[in-house]
Amino acid sequence: MIEQTHGDIRLLQFESLAKQPGLAHAVTTRPQNMAPHRGVDRERSVTWRQQTCDILGFNFDSLTAPTQVHGGDSLRIADCDVGRGRTGRDGAVAYVDGLLTDRRGVPMLILSADCPVICVYDPVRPAVGAVHASWQGTVALAASQLVHMMQREFDSEPARLVAAICPSAGPCCYEVGEEVRRVAETKLTDTHRCFVERDGKLFFDLWTANRTQLIDAGVSLDNIETAGLCSICDKRFWSHRRDGAEAGRFGLMVGLQ
């Protein structure tokens, strides 16, 4: 990923998305905590959100975020949604983990502290979507549902979508119990590739699981960029597994300019 520093704020960008005219995005890093509701320095999170909007060229008043409920649903931003969640979860777009829009100047913010965030962009009919895909969201097919919503709302052809999988807990570190695999096997394809057994422990490969969903939904493998950065072992990112209850949140901010 491309790393840029703006004062004390370090932002990362996907090479594939950075090439798209009219699209602005960034993955935030520590020490900035983007979550007003929890973690270290939470009282400064709104200021950091404002500063990130300024860097990307967005008006903070239009920043829009979902509540993120560990499900698989995404929602198109309506007039009444613009600006919801910009200062915290209490006013966020309820009951969903993802948002999508074709509105220019309406940035979206999706938070994480180990969970993958999936972004898809249609360069032909400019529209963009992003979804928080925790292990529950991954099993609920959040990534493929986001692609289907892009098709339904914007007539996006999946083969032309450009997709990115943000930093998250990687297969090197994301240990789960057998009960997680049992649930995953009821929904996911190629689960034998999504779970790794090592030294008597079971690890969930969320990157492979979400990449497979995108491909199954029609996105070209060549159009999918995976950050490949593990939030648990890469200390540039907040990690609930590593940092515990005081973990802040990093996030993907993305929108059309």
Cβ 207 vs Cβ 170: under 8 Å: yes
Mean pLDDT by 10 residues, the chain (257 residues): 97 98 98 96 98 98 98 98 97 98 98 98 98 98 98 98 98 98 95 96 98 98 98 98 94 98
Strand partners, 127: 122
pLDDT digits over 181-237, tens only? 999 999 998 899 999 999 999 999 999 999 999 999 999 999 999 999 999 999 999
Q: Is the pTM value of this prediction over 0.75?
A: yes
Nearest to 95 by CA among 72, 128, 120, 112: 72
Can you give the pLDDT at residue 80?
98
C-alpha distance from residue 175 to each of 97, 102, 180, 198 (Å): 23, 37, 10, 10
Can you give the pLDDT at residue 245?
84
Q: What token pair was written down for 141?
A: 């097919």
Can you give the pLDDT at residue 128?
98
Mean pLDDT of the chain: 97
Cβ 51 vs Cβ 39: under 8 Å: no
Tokens 């932002």 belong to 11
Q: Which helix (H) or strand (E) holds 119?
A: strand 117-122
Strand pairing of 201-204 and 195-198? antiparallel
Strand partners, 196: 203
Can you give the pLDDT at residue 27?
98
Contacts for 60 with CB less than 8 Å, ≥ 6 apart: 49, 50, 53, 54, 86
